[in-house]
Chains A and B, each alone.
Chain A
Amino acid sequence: MIELKNIAVSYNKSAGNVFENVNKTFDNNEFVIIKGPSGAGKSTLLAVIGAYLNPAFGNVIYNGKDINKLSKKKIDLIHREKFGYVPQSNVMLKSYSIIENVTSPYLYGNKNLEKIKLEERAGQILSDLGLSNKLYNKPNELSGGELKRVAIARALLMEPEIVLADEPTTGLDSQTGKIILDYLYNYSRKNKLVIVSTHDEKAFKYEARIEDITSL
Chain B
Amino acid sequence: MQKLRRSIKSVNRNPIYSLFIFIPLVIISFMFFAGTVVDQSLVRGMANMEKRLGSDLMLVPAGSKEEATSTLLEGYRGTFYFSKDAYEQILNIDGIKEVTAQFYLKSLSADCCSSEVEIVFYDPESDFIIGSWINSKVTAKQDANSIIIGSQVNATNGYIKLFGKEYKVAAQMAKTGTSLDSSVYFTFDSLESVLTDAQNGGAFLTDNQKQTNLISSVFINVDDGVDLEKIIENIEDSVDEDIDIVYPKELSSSLRTNLKGIYTSTHLIFIFTGILIFFILVIVNIIIANERKREIALLRVFGVSRKNVISILNEGAVLIAIVASATGCVLANIIVVMFSNLLARNLDMPYLLPSASRIILLYIVVIAVLALITALSSLVPAIYISGLEVYKALRKEGE
* Interface residue? B231 (CB, 8 A): no
* Interface residue? A96 (CB, 8 A): yes
B391 contacts A52, CB within 8 Å?
Answer: yes
B389 contacts A53, CB within 8 Å?
Answer: yes
B389 contacts A76, CB within 8 Å?
Answer: no
Q: Choose from B12, B307, B308, B391 the contact partner of A53 (Cβ within 8 Å).
A: B391
**CB closest residue in chain A, given B394:** A87
Give the docked Cα–Cα distance between A77 and B294 (Å): 20
Q: Looking at the assembled complex, report how far the CB atom of B46 sits from the nearest CB atom of chain A, in whole angstroms.
A: 52
| Complex interface: chain B residues within 8 A of A205 (CB) | none
Q: Looking at the assembled complex, report how far the CB atom of A175 sits from the nearest CB atom of chain B, in whole angstroms.
A: 25
| Complex interface: chain B residues within 8 A of A72 (CB) | 305-306
| Complex interface: chain B residues within 8 A of A91 (CB) | 294-295, 297-298, 394
Residues 93-109 of B contacting A (Cβ, < 8 Å)? none
B305 contacts A105, CB within 8 Å?
Answer: no
Q: Looking at the assembled complex, report how far the CB atom of A38 sits from the nearest CB atom of chain B, in whole angstroms.
A: 10
Number of B interface residues, CB 8 Å?
28
Give the docked Cα–Cα distance between A197 and B137 (Å): 90
A93 contacts B308, CB within 8 Å?
Answer: no
Indicate whether A105 sits within 8 Å of B389 (C-beta atoms), given known contacts A89-B396, A95-B9, A96-B9: no
| Complex interface: chain A residues within 8 A of B304 (CB) | 76, 80, 105, 108-109
Residues of chain A touching chain B, judged by Cβ–Cβ distance below 8 Å, are 43-44, 47, 52-54, 72-73, 75-81, 85, 87-89, 91-96, 105-109, 154
29 A-B pairs in the complex with CB atoms less than 8 angstroms apart: A43-B399, A44-B391, A52-B391, A53-B392, A54-B389, A79-B300, A79-B301, A79-B302, A80-B303, A81-B303, A85-B301, A85-B302, A87-B298, A87-B301, A87-B394, A88-B395, A89-B396, A91-B298, A92-B295, A93-B298, A94-B13, A94-B295, A95-B9, A95-B10, A95-B12, A108-B299, A108-B312, A109-B307, A154-B302
A53-B390, A105-B302 given; name 20 further pairs at CB < 8 Å: A47-B391, A52-B391, A54-B389, A75-B303, A77-B303, A85-B301, A87-B301, A89-B395, A89-B396, A89-B399, A91-B394, A92-B295, A93-B295, A95-B10, A95-B12, A95-B13, A105-B298, A108-B308, A109-B305, A109-B308
